Amino acid sequence: MKQVLVVAAREISERKRILAAAAVAGLLPFLAPLFPDVARGDVPQVRAILALVALAAFGIGTAIVLGASVLARDLAERRAAFYFARPLPSLAIWGGKTLGALLLAAGAALLAVLPAWIAAPAGGLLSGRPSSAAGTFVTAGLFFGGLLLLVALSHAAAVAVRSRSPWLVVDLVLLVVCGALVARSALRLAHEGYVEPLLRAAPWGVATLLLLLLAAGAAQVAAGRTDPRRGHGAQSLTIWGVALPVALLGAGFTHWLVSPAPGDLVRVETAHAAPSGDWLFVEGPARHRGDHLSGFLVNPKSGSFLRLPGAFRLRAVEFTPDGRRALWWELESDRQGLWRLWTADLSAARPEPRSLTVVAEGWPTLGVSPSGRRIALRSGRSLSVLELASEKTLAAVRLDTEAYLSLFFENEETVRLFVPRVSQGDRTAREAPLLELRIPERKLERTGAVPREAGDRLEVWYEAGGARIFALDANRTRLTLRDGRTGELLGTISRGPKISSFRPAGGGAVVALESAGGVLRLHRLAADGTGGSAAELGAFRGGLVYGPAADGRLLVAGRTGTDDGGTRPRSWTLLGVDLPSGRITARETGLGPTEPWRWMVDPVLAAAGGPGAAPAAYFLDGSGALVLYDAARGTRTQILPERR
Amino acid sequence: MNPIAVRALGVRYGRVTALRSVTLDVPAGTVWTLLGRNGAGKSSLVRCLLGQQKPTLGACFLFGEPSWTSRPAAMRRLGIVPEEPDAPPEMTASELSRFFGRLYGGWDGGAVASRLSRFGVPGDVPFGRLSKGQKGLVQLALALASRPELLVLDDPTLGLDPVARREIYGQLVAELADRGTTVFLTTHDLAGVEGIATHVGVLKDGELVLADELERLKARFRRITYSNERTEERAEFGTELDGFDAVRVRVRGWGVEALVSNFDDAVFERFRSTEGVVDAEASALSLEEIFVAVAGGER
């Protein structure tokens, strides 16, 4: 250690003029009052800025210049033997020279800022200066660590350039290769949503780089001594001997990390199926990937799947009505909050994601036409309709409202928009307006509204086909049927106990789950409110209806827990019900809905017997496994994670 | 144990071979002078010897230890005067002495000051501002201040004027007389070292072509001049020298001049009595003549 200090002291002594120059530069900020256009009140601020500029210039500049010269220049000028001819170990030479450069850079930086710092009022120069001992320690560590990194980096670069050895070609090639590998890995991780682990790993990466550069410098001095080419070789071997395998391993690890298969899912947290076909969207944590959520489009029958980006970059996976195409939003720019629309043809042998030119801000709303060829999207105050294949804009109109609007294609030529939920606190508290966009005329008009007649909240759904509206208000106790265009009342279906879920049963009739007195009842109600069959399902606080199928069979998920949005399977019991007879045909416990809220946000309720109306659905069991439960057959089939 | 031992030393720079299988020993108390033309490989040998450069092949030993791995320990027992003055230009001789004092155990700063005073070199002038001769003398004073067992001087008089050269050699002689320090010296100054060298080696194109005690060398290298009355064909001149190892033969108007490397009185007497050989004489060679004959590339 003594030898290191002796060498460091000599380096500092040789270059002490830098400290004198920094001390002089530290006085320059006090000339701020003499600068033109500096108001008297701004002088402390200008002085602080000048002092910080001097700090940066002397700290960074000195570190770079000294790093490049303390040893590399001696080698190039054949003066390195001065040290190697003394009883000094190579590491003492390297350590002493590096320490000298670091102390000079740090000293110069501090001298450049010290006068202004002392003269500044408390907190004036560095308002964010650390107040705690730990903060001071961290700041000092960053300051010295940063300067040391610059010294080591500059030394390595100077040795590479000044040695004029063929290793320079190796350096440049591997720098590009490793840089590309690291950048690609970092971008992939960021793209997949591993931003936080990436940010946590970054300081360790920088620290590793610093240690690697210091080790490479030591190797260069120890193995090369006065031979610049040999030293450069040792330096390159050290750096790339570690950096290349690490970059390759990092790239391999990144690839592994961001490429889970559906079979790697340890549990499913979210899932919903396409209205038709076998595809479904699933999301959940994958094996050895921590809490990070991985999303997939999966076809359990064929085993095909398409990996989607990490959960935080993914929004609103939608399927076309025929289930042959999926659309989803991917975060394009976190800072600007931009989302890009992607699609995939699920009928292809190997579905590939394709990005569209559609980019939207905020919370864009998407609708797909019945044929799946057109999409309507609302972003901010604009509404556009595009042809999916060509991305040609068919219509684009401006909206008067920023209120959240649901939208759907009534047919290929008409898009309906409406406010799906109206609460007392909303500006449009009294009604849910109904809008219509005629695509050929590119004309948007308000066609009517659904009034909130009673209660705090009004909820609106369209029946499949768009001709009629179901409106639920009066604290979910009154269900009315209304004209889909004007909102005019066609009939009151139910005026009684609280309705926790309902489904169209054809002809304006519904099957509804009513809960009263802790008992859940299933009713078939006609459009005019006349009661049909009713079945008492048992002691449940609420429930969800799936179906009914064309034969009248349906599936009910009854909830015993109090958590409306909960998916805890223990809170649910599945019941297969034969609607005409009101008989419970099957009972299953230990399974909970995948997205219990989803029926509420879908703008259109599937028609009875139509796509998506079947007494079979996906549920989650207590371990997070995705299970297909078919109430008609009474079978449960685990889909994911795959049984091993 | 010899202070210096070099074993099968080879140095390559890419495709260029600087040293090829050099082996030599420097016994304690000797002044071993390595001669060679520019580019013969002297500096490469010195750098390897001092542990500053790793040999491509073979090894160098200082005091019995490999110099590459035991450099710091060996340097404590060594004084070095490099070919190019490498001290930092802004340091004065006094500052250099103080700096070295922190690195060497038995540093004699007073000896540095007194030597510099004797040489007439100012101790308070930055090294970079000294003349080349003064720099050499400062380096020598510093090299001697740790009372080294071995002095390695890499062409210390290169570019020096005669006065400076004489001072350096005078100091060496004094050191040798005082303490019997072993000296390993590379130089082009053949006349200068002739008076102090005990052993001489000659490097030629990376190979050690000659290594011996100086006196023995002088005894076996001789110039032989003679005429041959029987030979008429110029091409046949010199063939009568078969008993000698002739390193150079020149045919002149008056006869033949030959430099031989294995002179022996008895053989010479037989040569003189060869039929047709007249006026045969043998004379001694200077070190420079021997060097030119061996390293000069002529025959």
**CB spacing of A84 vs B51 below 8 angstroms:** yes
Which residues of chain A neighbour B50 with C-beta distances below 8 Å?
81, 84-85
Which residues of chain A neighbour B73 with C-beta distances below 8 Å?
87
**CB spacing of A78 vs B84 below 8 angstroms:** yes
Query: Would the ipTM clear 0.90, i.e. be above it?
Result: no
**CB spacing of B103 vs A6 below 8 angstroms:** yes
Backbone angles phi, psi at A201, to 5 degrees: -80, -25
Residue A358: per-residue pLDDT: 86
Which residues of chain B neighbour A227 with C-beta distances below 8 Å?
47, 52-54
> pLDDT tens, B25-80?
999 999 999 999 888 899 999 999 999 999 999 999 999 999 999 999 999 999 99
**Residue A428 reports pLDDT greater than 60:** no
**Residue A314 reports pLDDT greater than 90:** no
Q: Does B102 touch chain A (CB under 8 A)?
A: yes
Q: How far apart are the CA of B238 and the nearest CA of chain A, in angstroms?
A: 48
Which residue of A16, A75, A164, A225 to mutate against B (max B Cβ within 10 Å)?
Answer: A225
Nearest CA in chain B to A89: B72
**CB spacing of B52 vs A3 below 8 angstroms:** no
pTM, entire model: 0.77
Query: In one letter, which amino acid is A438?
Result: R
If you search the block for the tokens 């010290």, which residue do you land on?
A114
Residue B94: per-residue pLDDT: 94
B274: how many CB neighbours lie within 10 A of its CB?
16
**CB spacing of B53 vs A3 below 8 angstroms:** no
**Residue B235 reports pLDDT greater than 60:** no
Q: What is the mean pLDDT of residues A364-386?
A: 90
* CA–CA dist B277, A189 (Å, integer): 95
Give the long-range contacts of residues A192-197, CB within 8 A, separation 24 or more.
Answer: A192/A257, A192/A258, A192/A292, A192/A309, A192/A310, A192/A313, A193/A292, A193/A293, A193/A309, A193/A310, A193/A311, A193/A312, A193/A313, A194/A257, A194/A258, A194/A292, A194/A310, A195/A312, A197/A290
Query: In one letter, which amino acid is A579?
Result: L
> pLDDT tens, B83-142?
888 888 889 999 999 999 999 988 999 999 999 998 889 989 999 999 888 898 899 999
Q: How far is CA B116 from the centre of its chain?
A: 25
Mean per-residue pLDDT of chain A: 87
Which residues of chain B neighbour A81 with C-beta distances below 8 Å?
47, 50, 52, 82, 86
Q: Which of residues 86-105 of A touch B (CB under 8 A)?
A: 86-89
* CA–CA dist A379, A390 (Å, integer): 20
Residue A476: per-residue pLDDT: 86
Q: How far apart are the CA of B126 and the nearest CA of chain A, in angstroms?
A: 12
Q: Which residues fall within 8 angstroms of residue A40, CB to CB, at 6 or more apart?
A: A33
Q: What is the mean pLDDT of residues A269-291?
A: 89
**Residue B298 reports pLDDT greater than 70:** no
Q: How far apart are the CA of B221 and the nearest CA of chain A, in angstroms?
A: 37
- Closest in B72, B82, B88 to A81, CB measured: B82
**CB spacing of B53 vs A225 below 8 angstroms:** yes
> pLDDT tens, A114-140?
888 887 766 556 555 555 777 778 888
> pLDDT tens, B248-294?
888 877 788 889 988 999 889 988 888 888 889 999 998 888 988 88
Give the long-range contacts of residues A31-40, CB within 8 A, separation 24 or more.
Answer: none
Q: What is the mean pLDDT of residues B157-184?
A: 80
Q: Does B80 touch chain A (CB under 8 A)?
A: yes
* CA–CA dist A479, A494 (Å, integer): 5
Nearest CA in chain A to B74: A87
A127: how many CB neighbours lie within 10 A of its CB?
9
Q: What is the mean pLDDT of residues A213-218?
A: 94
Which residue of B45, B49, B71, B97 to mutate against A (max A Cβ within 10 Å)?
Answer: B71
Query: In one letter, which amino acid is B112?
Result: V
Q: Does A421 touch chain B (CB under 8 A)?
A: no
pLDDT band at A418 (very low <50, low <70, confident <90, very high): very high
- Closest in A2, A79, A89 to B86, CB measured: A79
* Cβ–Cβ < 8 Å for A472, A454: no
Which residue of A12, A69, A79 to mutate against B (max B Cβ within 10 Å)?
Answer: A79
**CB spacing of A79 vs B47 below 8 angstroms:** no
pLDDT band at A337 (very low <50, low <70, confident <90, very high): confident
Note the maximum CA span of chain A: 108
Q: Does A164 touch chain B (CB under 8 A)?
A: no
Which residues of chain A neighbour B104 with C-beta distances below 8 Å?
86-87
Residue B142: per-residue pLDDT: 93
Among A466, A410, A419, which Cα is nearest to A439's? A410
Backbone angles phi, psi at B163, to 5 degrees: -65, -45
Q: What is the mean pLDDT of residues A473-500?
A: 89
- Closest in A10, A87, A223 to B72, CB measured: A87
Nearest CA in chain A to B152: A85
Assigned token pair, A25: 């530069």
Among B38, B35, B140, which Cα is nearest to B87's? B140
**CB spacing of B99 vs A6 below 8 angstroms:** yes
pLDDT band at A612 (very low <50, low <70, confident <90, very high): low
Which residues of chain B neighbour A4 with C-beta distances below 8 Å?
none
> pLDDT tens, A543-568?
898 878 777 888 999 988 765 545 57
Give A142-163 as a DSSP string: HHHHHHHHHHHHHHHHHHHHHT
Q: Does A5 touch chain B (CB under 8 A)?
A: no
Q: Does B100 touch chain A (CB under 8 A)?
A: yes
Q: What is the mean pLDDT of residues A32-54?
A: 79
Which residues of chain B neighbour A15 with C-beta distances below 8 Å?
none
> pLDDT tens, A159-185?
999 988 899 999 999 999 999 999 999
Among A329, A339, A289, A296, which Cα is nearest to A189's? A289
Assigned token pair, A154: 């500059």
Residue B299: per-residue pLDDT: 40
**CB spacing of B53 vs A85 below 8 angstroms:** no
List the end-to-end C-alpha distance of chain A, in Å, as a whole number: 59
Q: How far apart are the CA of B186 and the nearest CA of chain A, in angstroms?
A: 17
CB-hemisphere CA count at 13 Å for B119?
Answer: 31
Looking at per-residue pLDDT, the higher value among A255 and A526 belongs to: A255
pLDDT band at A280 (very low <50, low <70, confident <90, very high): very high
**Residue B4 reports pLDDT greater than 80:** yes
Nearest CA in chain A to B90: A14
Which residues of chain B neighbour A3 with C-beta distances below 8 Å?
103
Q: Which residues fall within 8 angstroms of residue A30, CB to CB, at 6 or more apart?
A: A47, A115, A116, A119
**What percent of chain A is modeled with pLDDT above 90?**
43
**CB spacing of B86 vs A86 below 8 angstroms:** no
Assigned token pair, A624: 């997070």
Q: Which of A42-46, A263-267, A608-612 has the lowest mean pLDDT?
A: A608-612
Q: Does B104 touch chain A (CB under 8 A)?
A: yes
The H-or-E segment that residue B44 falls in is: helix B42-49
pLDDT band at A526 (very low <50, low <70, confident <90, very high): confident
Count Cβ neighbours within 10 Å for each residue of A564-598 and write b for 16 or more, e otherwise. eeebebebbbbbbbbbeebebbbebebbbbbbbee
Q: How far is CA A527 from the centre of its chain?
A: 44
**CB spacing of A226 vs B90 below 8 angstroms:** no
**CB spacing of B86 vs A88 below 8 angstroms:** no
